Amino acid sequence: MTLTTLPLSKQPTGPAPAPPRPASDAPPTTSPTAAPASETTETAPGTGRRWSLPGGLTRGQTAAAAAIVLAALTLAGIGLYLSFEHVAAFAHDRLSFATLGKARLFTVGVDVGILVLIALDLLMTWLRRPIAWVRFPVWLLTGATIVLNAASAAPTAGAWTALDYVASFAHGIVPVLFIAVVEIGKTAIKRVVSADTATAPSVPLSRWLLAPGPTFGMWRRMKLWDLSTYAEAVDLYKEHLVYRVMLKRQYGSVKNAPADALLPLTMARYGLTVAEALALPQDAEKRAQALRDAEEDARVAEEARKAERAAQAEIARLKAAGAVKAARTEVEASTSRAEVLAAADVAAAERAATAETEALESEAAARADAERAAAEHRAAEARRRAAEADEAATEARAREAEAAARAAEDEARAAATEAHAEETRRRAAEERQRAAEADEAAAEARRRAAEAERAAVEAEDELTLSPRDRKIRKVARMILTEGAGHAEHLPLESVMSAFGVSQTTASEYRAAAAQIIAEGYDPEVR
């Protein structure tokens, strides 16, 4: 799908934030080196060095801050004094407090509560651990004090006059001033202690007033998906608006656009940009293609390993056969040499007998023949011993051939063992692949469940259900997914942990969810 080029690059929508100002502008020191941070005592007058105080305030700034704090406390005391008797009398006469003492105790409790909450808020801000919601009960209690003070000046009978309105307004001026001083002081403390911390700009108040609905959606995405700056959230919002306009321009209506083209609008609530949403199908296809390529590579590698193992086994078999054949040939050759030597010995014996016969004819010739026969006998004995040595060597070579054959057999068995191990590894790889496929299927199931949950939540948003009905429907979806449609198969602990409710409430939710399932509730049907 191709669309007209969209302004996808995020540009800053406002001027670049100025670097944080220092907590205070200290006067220059007379020494070129600054005082150590650990110095805790006051320096000599006229040097202009700072005290080691939070924010690095000078003595003059510290005195001004102390004077402001005293003035604020004085203002608080004046407010308490002015409102004490008026509110106490009004509470006793008009608010049905039994005695004047109880009415005064009520007034003191409200004023002390305001002061405690304000002191806690200022302290946590000073410690750089502010609690944002503390100011709301302070405003509520102060508003109640203002209303009570104004009501105490209201006429008990007759119509209101202009002077009555002025009196009611005058009774509420001091509390308003006190709250204004507290808020300004809190802001000042925050700027002093957090001067070196760059804070991300929040959504401007003007945008909340001019476009509350879209602004709430933008603020919600900033909080849910951790968008770092307001400018980034504005760029993302504008990007989706422009993309919607381009879809209308290309297809006539957003409803006519294909599903892949609607992905940026569907995924906008999850903080995805147009480019990221459009890339989701390609990413899924790439992951599927990578899985297919891995399977094909594994199959080719397995075939190559099988061919290599078969070749190694055939080589080992041929080596063993050649060694056996060589040993057999050597044994046959040794046997032939032994037969020749034996025939030579027989001929020598015959010649010795002939020599003895001839010795009867001539003693000298006999002696000569005897000596010659003895020499031939010795030569025959030597040849016999040589034949025995050859036979022993032949037997040794035969044993070596047998050892070589056994080694070849061992190599063949080792090759078979390696083949078995490789088969085991292949099966393990297949098991891992099946496990990966199972994980992929489980992830796909979780994704589908998340989409179903999201569709159910959207349907509930359209129906404007109450929070309790939403929880009951969510329990019904848990019964359908985790309990196979049977309410008793869903443990109460799952419901208690999902909503943080007691066992009794969880049982009520499960019973109500079982009832709407019995009535035909289907989370996929809007």
pLDDT, one tens digit per residue, over 178-220 is 778 877 877 777 777 765 555 556 788 888 899 898 889 888 8
Q: How confident is the model at residue 34 (pLDDT cuts 50, 70, 90)?
A: very low
Report yes or no on 181 lying in a domain: yes
Whether residues 347 and 398 fall in one domain: yes
Output the pLDDT for position 246. Answer: 92
Least confident of 112-126, 270-284, 477-491: 477-491
Output the pLDDT for position 64. Answer: 87
Burial state string for 380-414 with b = 16 or more CB within 10 A and e = fewer than 16:
beebeeebeeebeebeeeeeebeebbeebeebbee
Q: How confident is the model at residue 242 (pLDDT cuts 50, 70, 90)?
A: very high
Report yes or no on 378 lying in a domain: yes
Least confident of 166-175, 230-239, 275-284, 497-506: 166-175
Output the pLDDT for position 358. Answer: 66
Whether residues 94 and 175 fall in one domain: yes
**What is the residue range of 330's domain?**
307-448
Q: What is the mean pLDDT of residues 154-173?
A: 79
Angle at 261 between CA 255 and CA 266, to 5 degrees: 75
Report yes or no on 422 lying in a domain: yes
| Selected residue with higher pLDDT from 261 and 157 | 261
Output the pLDDT for position 23. Answer: 39
Least confident of 127-141, 165-179, 439-453: 439-453
Examine the fold and report which residue of 162, 193, 224 is the final residue of a domain before the chain moves on.
Answer: 193
Radius of gyration of the chain (CA): 52
Least confident of 111-120, 290-299, 445-454: 445-454
Per the CB < 8 A criterion, the answer to whether 518 and 476 are in contact is: no
Whether residues 179 and 90 fall in one domain: yes
Examine the fold and report which residue of 413, 448, 483 is the final residue of a domain before the chain moves on.
Answer: 448
Q: How confident is the model at residue 85 (pLDDT cuts 50, 70, 90)?
A: confident
pLDDT tens digits for range 88-131? 888 888 787 888 888 888 888 888 888 888 888 888 888 888 88
Give Cα separations from 187 to 151, 181, 184, 355 (angstroms). 31, 10, 5, 143
- Distance from first CA to last CA of the chain, Å, rounded? 29
Whether residues 322 and 436 fall in one domain: yes
Output the pLDDT for position 35. Answer: 38
Q: What is the mean pLDDT of residues 270-293?
A: 88
Q: What's the structural domain count of the chain?
A: 4
Whether residues 76 and 178 fall in one domain: yes
